[in-house]
Copies of this chain bind each other. A is one copy, B any other.
Amino acid sequence: MTYQYGRSRGAGLRGSGPGSHRAPDGQADGHSTQDAASTHNVTGTGNTSPPASAKERILTAAIDLYGRLGFDGVTVKEIAQAASVSAPLVIHHFGSKAGLRAACDAYVAEQFRRTKTESVRRGNLPRNVAHEAMAANRHLVKYLMRAFMEGGETIDAFFDQLVEDSLVYTSEAEEIGLVYPSRNPRHRAVVMLLQSFGSLILHRQLERHLGVSLLDDEPNPEGLDAYMATVLELYTQPVMNAEAFAELLAADAEAHTEATEPGSTQDRSPRS
């Protein structure tokens, strides 16, 4: 398989050590090039991975950087640097920057699929499936969030799969009395998923207000507790009194119809 992946070349060429991929230019830009390269083996199971081909290194570095800085925020040069290769090699392997992006999408999707089936095969509970997939590798989740923000067919398909899975899990949980039935389970699943991912995307605010960083560092326990407690409360006890809300809605509509001209479709806004 991957024997020496041409690092003999690197060593021979410029007699520095194997890990020394120095930027030839000044490279005043600070952010974590070798950091990205060092975290590349987080991907799979906990094996002590063989020294990772250049192509793999490029892929993982790209995913890491994309997740942290966004797709437009990273150049191929930076990716190449983080992977200890030259920029043209990135093009050589993936055709173009867009090709690299597509490869990242495929890789991440595959990774999540694998994690899911593994977790399911081990007989985990649904919520632990999600929990595991999430905790397993945060940088993949970060990448996913970026992909969600960008949109596109790949992520659409992924989301659809998530909805289907969620539907299955929820119906199972319904049978054992864990979750209550909904008037429209699919709609509920969609909205709940969106809310969850939305909170993840906006985790910056979550960190500022609850002190928990869901995506960046190892989350501190008390912050995580605060977040979990809040979400749990939101999901186990109602926020609003349905009858009072209906009353208010009716009164409001009446007030509107007498204040303004009638016939307009009334607004109904649930949020405070």
Q: How large is the interface on A (under 10, 10 to 19, 20 to 34, 35 or more residues)?
A: 35 or more
Q: From residue A71, how far is it (CB to closest CB) to chain B in Å?
A: 9
A interface SS class = helix
Number of copies: 2
Q: Does A272 belong to the interface (CB within 8 Å)?
A: yes
CA A252 – CA B199 in complex, angstroms? 26
* Contacts A166-B272, A205-B194 given; does A188 touch B240 at CB 8 Å: no
Q: Does A112 belong to the interface (CB within 8 Å)?
A: no
Please report which residues of chain A, range 118-166, place their CB below 8 angstroms from some CB of chain B when the two chains form the complex.
125-128, 130-131, 135, 148-149, 151, 156, 159, 163, 166
* Contacts A126-B272, A187-B226, A192-B239 given; does A148 touch B209 at CB 8 Å: no
Q: Which residues of B contact A202 (CB under 8 A)?
A: 148, 194, 197-198, 201
Q: Which of B135, B187, B245 contacts A178 (CB 8 A)?
A: B245
Residue on B with the closest CB to A236?
Answer: B242
Q: Could you give, for residues 197-234 of chain A, a 1 whenever the CB lies within 8 Å of some chain B CB and a 0 otherwise?
A: 11111101110111000000000010011111111111
Q: Could you give, for residues 4-48 of chain A, a 1 whenever the CB lies within 8 Å of some chain B CB and a 0 otherwise?
A: 000000000000000000000000000000000000000000000
Q: Does A190 belong to the interface (CB within 8 Å)?
A: yes
* Contacts A127-B271, A231-B271, A245-B236 given; does A194 touch B198 at CB 8 Å: yes
Q: Does A2 belong to the interface (CB within 8 Å)?
A: no
Q: Does A263 belong to the interface (CB within 8 Å)?
A: no
* Contacts A72-B72, A127-B271, A237-B242 given; does A194 touch B206 at CB 8 Å: yes
Q: Which of B128, B177, B209 contacts A241 (CB 8 A)?
A: B177
Q: Does A106 belong to the interface (CB within 8 Å)?
A: no
Q: From residue A3, how far is it (CB to closest CB) to chain B in Å?
A: 37
Q: Which residues of B contact A201 (CB under 8 A)?
A: 149, 198, 201-202
Q: Which of B198, B238, B272 contacts A237 (CB 8 A)?
A: B238
A178-B240, A180-B237, A236-B240 known, 11 other contacts, Cβ within 8 Å: A177-B244, A179-B272, A180-B239, A184-B229, A188-B233, A190-B206, A197-B198, A198-B200, A221-B268, A224-B268, A228-B270
